[in-house]
């Protein structure tokens, strides 16, 4: 059902970029930019950045202020500019300029949390991983599939319950659904194909 619904909605920006040929470094950098930032802003900032730098070596030729100007107005753009330089330096010095395809190694990079690391594995390397952002966390709890307090808890519960064949696309489907139908406040339940089976956990107002 979600897969059929997904066909009628735009893919999340990182998925779209990966489908258009973005490599692991571009996926990593774009995901860093996307935190606390709307997809349309992330897409434009990523395009400007990658016109100047598409690899860790390229990124290190840019100074911090230049990167800030390229990625503005993404959220926390000054911190993200610093982290992009730090990440690029670490990749060049410790990983032969290759983005690691292991979650524990990815988590060592500045500004990289579990959501970012899992998304790099999924979209950068097409490896099975469960990427949980605010939409996935919210909807998974709202439909009663998990009962958790944090995105990290949701990730670990989904790893236990969700069949592995759905791991890669679960994030894509729920992000698209959460952006358009299953919104945080007053979701469009009347437009939802799953309304009849959804307990609407935590929902006090809907349309």
List the chain domain ranges: 10-125, 131-197
Q: What pLDDT sits at residue 10? A: 59
- Summarised one tens digit per residue, pLDDT across range 153-197 is 999 999 999 999 999 989 888 988 898 899 999 999 999 988 999
Q: Is the dihedral of CA 55, 33, 10, 5 positive or negative?
A: positive
C-alpha span between 120 and 126 (Å, rounded): 8
Of the residues 80, 115, 165, 205, only one is catalytic, namely: 115
Of the residues 133, 149, 152, 200, only one is catalytic, namely: 133
* Rounded mean pLDDT, 114-136: 95
C-alpha span between 109 and 88 (Å, rounded): 9
Is 115 considered catalytic here? yes
The encoded tokens of residue 161 equal 């319950």
Fold assignment, 131-197: Endonuclease Iii, domain 2 (1.10.1670)
pTM assigned to the model = 0.87
C-alpha span between 133 and 154 (Å, rounded): 9
The encoded tokens of residue 113 equal 């949390």
The CATH number corresponding to 10-125 among 1.10.1470.10, 1.10.340.30, 3.20.20.70, 1.10.8.60 equals: 1.10.340.30
- Summarised one tens digit per residue, pLDDT across range 58-106 is 999 999 999 999 999 999 999 999 999 999 999 999 999 999 999 999 9
Is 47 considered catalytic here? no
């Amino acid at each position: 059902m979600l897969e059929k619904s997904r066909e009628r909605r735009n893919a999340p920006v990182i998925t779209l970029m990966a489908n258009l040929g973005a490599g692991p470094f571009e996926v990593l950098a774009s995901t860093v930019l996307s935190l606390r930032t709307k997809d349309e802003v992330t897409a434009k900032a990523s395009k400007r950045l990658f016109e100047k730098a598409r690899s860790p070596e390229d990124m290190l030729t840019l100074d911090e202020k230049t990167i800030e100007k390229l990625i503005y107005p993404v959220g926390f753009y000054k911190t993200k500019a610093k982290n992009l330089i730090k990440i690029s330096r670490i990749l060049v010095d410790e990983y032969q300029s290759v983005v690691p395809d292991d979650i524990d190694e990815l988590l060592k990079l500045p500004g990289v949390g579990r959501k970012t690391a899992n998304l790099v594995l999924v979209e950068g390397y097409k490896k099975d991983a469960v990427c949980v952002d605010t939409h996935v966390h919210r909807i998974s709890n709202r439909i009663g599939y998990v009962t958790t307090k944090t995105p990290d808890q949701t990730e670990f519960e989904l790893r236990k319950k969700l069949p592995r064949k759905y791991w890669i696309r679960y994030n894509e489907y729920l992000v698209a659904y959460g952006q358009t139908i299953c919104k945080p406040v007053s979701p469009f339940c009347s437009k939802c194909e799953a309304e009849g089976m959804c307990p609407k956990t935590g929902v006090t107002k809907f349309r």
